[in-house]
Amino acid sequence: MKKILTLLIGLFFWVSVYAQQDSTLWKPTLNVGLRSYFMRTSYWEDYKNDYAWGQMARIAFTSKLPHHFQVQAEYLGFLNILSSDLSVFDSRVSNLNRYEVGLFDVNHLDKTVFGKIGNLHLDYLRDNFQASLGRIEINSPFINAQDGRLSPTYVEGLNWNLRVNPRISFAQHLITGISPRSTGNWFDLGESIGMYPVGRDENGQGSDYSGNTRSDFINILDLKFRLNSASSLILNHTLVNNIYSAYLAQWDKNWELPNSSFQWITGLQTTIQHGIGNGGNEDIALRYKNPEDFHWILSGRIGIKSEKSLWHINYTKMQGEGRYLSPREWGKDPFYTFIPRERNEGLGQVDALSTYFQHAFPKKSLQLYSYMGMYFLPDPADATKNKYAMPSYAQANLGLRYNPKKWIEGLNLHLILMGKTALNQQDLRPAWVYNKVNLFHTNLILNYTFPGN
């Protein structure tokens, strides 16, 4: 990781010196943006309520170089404007807050101000081939930006993309380091696993893999087919050294309806994941994943869309041996039934049903959307199938996006209201409620990009 950073810093220094001889070379395009984020969580019963207001400022530049090269760099600064005491446990549950801490550095909640390097990479750009070396954003099924706080997740390594023809493209990501969302530093891969809540091991004891996990690299292969103008196929293989191997296939197709402006949409996704190596550590008590874990996940979608509206219903079935695990520090679930603010990672079996509706009002620069879902999970008392002791639950999100471009160019507003409830309210333990169900969660996000960037 340090070798790549040293190489990039040296390259930036060389370019700046060389540019003094050619003023047409070093003319970066600047981009400055702000994100202000307010979050609040309250419970139906007497649990610890929390709130937080965080601010992020981002400055980035891009500069073209000779011979089809390009450099990009980015720095992000963060500020805790106002918050409840996020370092205090709930009186009945010895766990920290789960949601609001994500606006800041989860490893250093005492920091009011902090910053980090985001993107810092050298690109090679041709019509049918692109490659990047350094620190970059990523969007793959299991490793992704999960940009639901003040900044996304970044990875460090090499990625390239080859467009074989207009219908076929192939990409590879080789990752050796990562800066998870809600952290202020860069880490080795194994070091990053366990920064978010670790849940329980298979014996029901608190997991001890944080700081004890070894994984040297991630290799991701993506093959994308544009079957025709209305359908696509994605094939993905994600190999996390010493942890797991996962295969995903996803087919999506739109169907024209005769004499109608509407289209049917369908999707089918299959995933297989199994453990490899020693699961992160030879000591069973310290490992992240049981190498004998094996899961298959089937997810489907059907819906309808028009120019302004979109509706779909989704179903996911997870089955297998052990627990389906993928570090929460690295990305959100890829399944069709995923709803923001919760995941189905850490479980042995899942039956999930969700629906989504969206409608746009273009003249008002307004979009409304909603999610609803029901998730049937293993008994939260069974640590072998339920890592985080999550009860079966129902979730609903109501969202609004507004872009007042007629008044303030570059500003957009995003409001998210979320509620979750346990499907079975009997015999709920406090540890099954706090951070999980029977709560109401509010997010208000303001993004501003300075005009001219």
- pLDDT higher than 70, residue 58: yes
All residues at 6 or more sequence positions from 182 whose CB lies less than 8 Å from its CB, including other chains = 101, 102, 103, 104, 105, 106, 149, 150, 196
What is the reported pLDDT for 2?
62
Q: What is the spatial distance between Cα 439 and Cα 416, in angstroms, rounded to a whole number?
A: 14
**Residue 404, strand partner residues:** none
pLDDT cut 70: percent of the chain above it: 94
The mean per-residue pLDDT over the stretch 251-260 comes to 93
All residues at 6 or more sequence positions from 357 whose CB lies less than 8 Å from its CB, including other chains = 309, 310, 311, 369, 370
What is the reported pLDDT for 4?
62
Closest residue by Cα to residue 389 from 161, 119, 200, 169: 200
What is the reported pLDDT for 139?
95
Q: What is the spatial distance between Cα 31 and Cα 435, in angstroms, rounded to a whole number?
A: 36
Type of residue at 86: L
Burial 352-391 (b: 16+ CB within 10 A, else e): bebbbebebeeeeeebebbbbbebebbebeebbbbbbbbb
What fold is seen in the domain 2-449? Porin (2.40.160)
What is the reported pLDDT for 178?
98
Query: What does the H/E/C string look like for 165-201?
Result: ECCEEEEEEEEEEEECCCCCCCEEHHHHCCCCCCCEC
Question: Residue ranges per domain, the chain?
Answer: 2-449
At 23, the pLDDT band (50, 70, 90 cuts) reads: low
- pLDDT higher than 60, residue 258: yes
- pLDDT higher than 90, residue 20: no
At 405, the pLDDT band (50, 70, 90 cuts) reads: confident
3 state SS of 91: coil
The structure's pTM equals 0.93
The mean per-residue pLDDT over the stretch 306-334 comes to 97
**Residue 206, strand partner residues:** 200
What is the reported pLDDT for 3?
61
What is the reported pLDDT for 28?
82
Q: What is the spatial distance between Cα 436 and Cα 430, in angstroms, rounded to a whole number?
A: 10
At 293, the pLDDT band (50, 70, 90 cuts) reads: very high
Task: Kindly report the average pLDDT of the chain as a whole number.
Answer: 94
Minimum mean pLDDT range among 1-10, 83-92, 369-378: 1-10
Pairing of the two strands 154-165 and 129-137: antiparallel
